Amino acid sequence: MRGLFLAVFILATSNVFAKNAQFEFFNGNKTKIKNPFRLRDPFKRKILSLKAKRGKYSAFLKGNFFSNLPSIDNVALNDIKIVGVLLGKKRRAMAKIRNGKDTYLLKEGMRLGLDNAEIKAILPGGIVVVEKIKNVYNQEEYLETIIPISSE
C-alpha cells in the first residue's frame, strides 16, 4: 500500500517539476521589486519603538491597562518637583513639572523620567526613586534618588 502511494506521489510530482517552472501570471515579465527579501512580512505586526514620543494626552497602553491620562514618562527627574503627599492605604504623591501648570498623581511602582526610574516609596518628606544604570565597567547598578517636597 505504501509503495503504491509512493509511486503515485513520485509520478504526480515529476509531472509538475518536469515543466519549466514558469508561472502564468508573470507572462515573461519581471517585477519592479528590486529586493523582495528586504520587504516587511505582512503577517507580522509592526513593532513600535518604546521610546516613541507621546503627546501629553495621547492614549497609551501599560501592561493590560489602557489610559489617556496625561503621563510624566518623558520628563527628566531634575524637572519634576513634588508639591504634596497623600498618605493612607494607597500612598500618592502630587508632582508638577517645572514651568508647567498641570499636577500629576504618582503612585508607588510607577515609572517616570527619561531613564525609566521606578518610584519605590512615598514618604511624608518626598519620594524615593530607583533607576538602573550601567557603570564604567558595564555592570548594572541601582541609583537611589530622593526627591523632597518643594516649598515653592
pLDDT tens-digit profile of 64-107?
A: 556 666 677 778 888 888 899 988 888 888 888 887 778 888 88
Mean pLDDT of 50-56: 52
Domains of the chain: which residue ranges?
Answer: 75-148
Rounded average pLDDT over 51-76:
61
152/85 Cα distance (integer angstroms): 15
75-148: what CATH class?
A: mainly beta
Q: Which pTM value belongs to this model?
A: 0.53
